[in-house]
């Protein structure tokens, strides 16, 4: 027995080291693979090895699942995921639902929810690891306490009417915000906010890019007290505060010693009224910067037909986006309509379903193929470089509040339900020189190939390929499968009649 042990040690050693050098996603598979790959191991020991993998993995799974959000999503889930099974979700790191959010702040008057670092979800997201996504939700007639944070931020007002105040370079600038507004907030700006509406919640989506520790950010509250929020002034010695503020300690104690009511608090009607007296989308004259905000709905749609409209804001519309290399887009897919298939040539999209329902499909070469074909061909190493070995269909129902990651180059399509428009807002990371490439409809990329390339590429006469890729006369937005079916049914009905 003593002889066998050291050997088992060696193996664990190998397995552990290999795992530790890897990433979290594919641990279980790799762990077992390691067990299997070990030549000098007996069957009994291999079984032990497998069991360890399982235990390790289930432990980790539990860790990852142990933080269920205790709060409702944007709106209640009316229906269960009957259509898409367990297996599908497991293989799909691209979709974030309520349970993936962390609650950063929660009071009875609102909350801030944040997605974990994207690389915690999958190493595929390394290219966007310096970005974080958050959603602020504030009840009617509430106030978000002034604070600054160590990240550049782009805000998108998804719903509601508020007033935003930004203090930077010794000036305070206030302006009223409404749905569609896009605002860049420079790192270190002190910001506060009211929801000045009497009835509607205010929803703001935020994309943050850290200026200090990549992919992390911290909030700093000056106003505050001993707790909830704690004021950072309270972290200084009283002797320093007394000297710097030229004020006696007992008065400071009164200021910084209280327990406060939270980061998002109720404001009185009079306070709201006082803080709302600003022009909507007014000029915001920070150091000569041209505009403080821009409204995405005021931009002429770059695509528009009866099946949908597409609006965009990039550095050419809003100069403050220039150094961030971010653009924004908003797609409104008419009920029964669809968008795509398209792909973005350079940009990776962080998309939020703002309203409506529907579903989404994407061709993904990164995930294991549904047919197992890939496993036969690609080793672990080959995985990174295999070419055209196949694509997995990533498919997900869409509903309000869901977040999708759509990587550069990946073809995707989105379909609206037949009874409600589907509205999707996107932050586009790595946006400069991005091209949205159509894979169907007018000017789709296949229709631009030479006839010989069609022939050789598809192995069919060019005429046949052309016919297919030139049948759709619309562009970008099309009548969706449901709409088609309804129409066909209507037509059949008419024919029957």
What is the nearest approach in angstroms of its own copies to the Cβ of residue 352?
Answer: 18
CA–CA separation, 418 and 334 (whole Å): 9
Phi-psi region of 451 (alpha: psi -120 to 50; beta: other; left: phi over 0): alpha
Q: How far apart are CB 51 and its own copies at their closest, in Å? A: 7
Q: Which of 402, 357, 394 is nearest to 93 (CA)?
A: 394
Which residues, 6 or more positions from 11, have their beta carbon under 8 angstroms from its beta carbon? 35, 38, 40, 41, 45, 49
Dist. CA 237–CA 105, nearest whole Å: 27
Nearer Cβ to its own copies, position 275 or 404? 275
**Nearer CB in complex with its own copies: 282/390:** 390
Q: How far is the CB of 290 from its own copies (least distance, A)?
A: 15
Those residues whose C-beta lies under 8 Å from the C-beta of residue 398, and which sit 6 or more positions away, are 353, 356, 357, 358, 359, 360, 404, 414, 422, 424
Q: How far is the CB of 117 from its own copies (least distance, A)?
A: 7
What's the token pair of residue 126?
Answer: 């390394």
CB of 335 to its own copies, least distance (A): 14
Q: Decide whether 180 or 318 has the Cβ nearer to its own copies.
A: 318
Q: Give whichever of 30 and 161 is closer to its own copies, judged by the CB atom.
A: 30
Angle at 265 between CA 99 and CA 423, to 5 degrees: 45
Nearer to its own copies, 90 or 259 (CB): 259
Measured from the CB atom, the residue of 420 and 430 that comes closer to its own copies is: 430
DSSP bridge partners of 191? 147, 166
Q: Distance from first CA to last CA of the chain, Å, rounded?
A: 84
Contact between 359 and 396 (Cβ < 8 Å) = yes
**What is the nearest approach in angstroms of its own copies to the Cβ of residue 317?**
19
| Least distance from its own copies to the Cβ atom of residue 180, Å | 25
Which residue lies nearer to its own copies by CB, 232 or 297? 232
| Largest Cα–Cα separation, the chain | 90
């Amino acid at each position: 027995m003593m002889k066998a042990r050291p050997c088992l040690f060696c193996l664990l050693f190998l397995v552990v080291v290999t795992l530790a050098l890897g990433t979290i996603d594919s641990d279980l598979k790799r762990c077992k693979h390691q067990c299997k790959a070990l030549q000098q191991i007996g069957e009994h020991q291999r079984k032990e090895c497998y069991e360890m993998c399982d235990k390790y993995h289930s432990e980790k799974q539990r860790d990852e699942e142990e933080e269920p959000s205790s709060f409702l999503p944007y709106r209640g889930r009316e229906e269960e995921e009957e259509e898409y099974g367990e297996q599908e979700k497991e293989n799909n790191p691209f979709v974030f639902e309520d349970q993936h959010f962390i609650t950063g702040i929660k009071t009875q008057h609102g909350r801030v929810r944040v997605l974990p670092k994207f690389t915690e979800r999958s190493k595929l997201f390394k290219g966007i690891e310096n970005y974080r996504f958050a959603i602020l939700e504030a009840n009617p007639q509430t106030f978000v306490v002034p604070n600054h944070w160590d990240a550049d931020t782009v805000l998108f007002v998804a719903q509601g009417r508020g007033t935003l105040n930004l203090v930077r370079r010794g000036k305070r600038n206030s302006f009223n915000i409404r749905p569609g507004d896009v605002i860049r907030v420079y790192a270190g700006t002190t910001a506060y906010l009211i929801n000045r509406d009497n009835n509607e919640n205010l929803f703001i989506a935020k994309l943050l890019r850290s200026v200090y520790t990549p992919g992390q950010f911290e909030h700093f509250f000056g106003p505050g007290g001993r707790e909830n929020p704690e004021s950072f002034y309270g972290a200084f010695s009283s002797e320093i505060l007394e000297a710097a503020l030229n004020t006696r300690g007992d008065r400071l104690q009164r200021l910084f010693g209280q327990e406060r009511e939270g980061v998002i608090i109720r404001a009185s009607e009079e306070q709201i009224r006082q803080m709302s007296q600003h022009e909507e989308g007014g000029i915001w004259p920070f150091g000569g910067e041209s505009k403080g905000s821009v409204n995405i709905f005021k931009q002429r749609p770059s695509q528009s037909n009866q099946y949908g409209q597409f609006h965009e804001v990039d550095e050419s519309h809003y100069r403050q986006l220039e150094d961030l290399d971010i653009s924004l887009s908003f797609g409104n897919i008419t009920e029964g309509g669809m968008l795509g298939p398209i792909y973005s040539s350079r940009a990776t999209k962080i998309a939020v379903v703002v309203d409506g329902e529907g579903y989404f499909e994407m061709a993904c070469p990164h995930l294991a193929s549904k047919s197992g074909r890939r496993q036969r061909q690609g080793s672990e190493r080959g995985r990174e470089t295999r070419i055209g070995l196949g694509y997995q269909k990533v498919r997900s129902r869409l509903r309000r509040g869901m977040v999708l990651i759509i990587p550069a180059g990946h073809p995707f399509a989105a379909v609206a339900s037949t009874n409600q428009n589907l509205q999707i807002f996107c932050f586009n990371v790595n946006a400069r020189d991005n091209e949205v490439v159509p894979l169907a409809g007018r000017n789709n990329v296949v229709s631009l190939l030479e006839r010989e390339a069609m022939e050789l590429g598809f192995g069919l006469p060019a005429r046949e390929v052309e016919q297919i890729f030139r049948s759709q006369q619309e562009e970008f937005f099309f009548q969706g499968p449901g709409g088609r079916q309804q129409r066909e049914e209507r037509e059949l009905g008419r024919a029957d009649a």
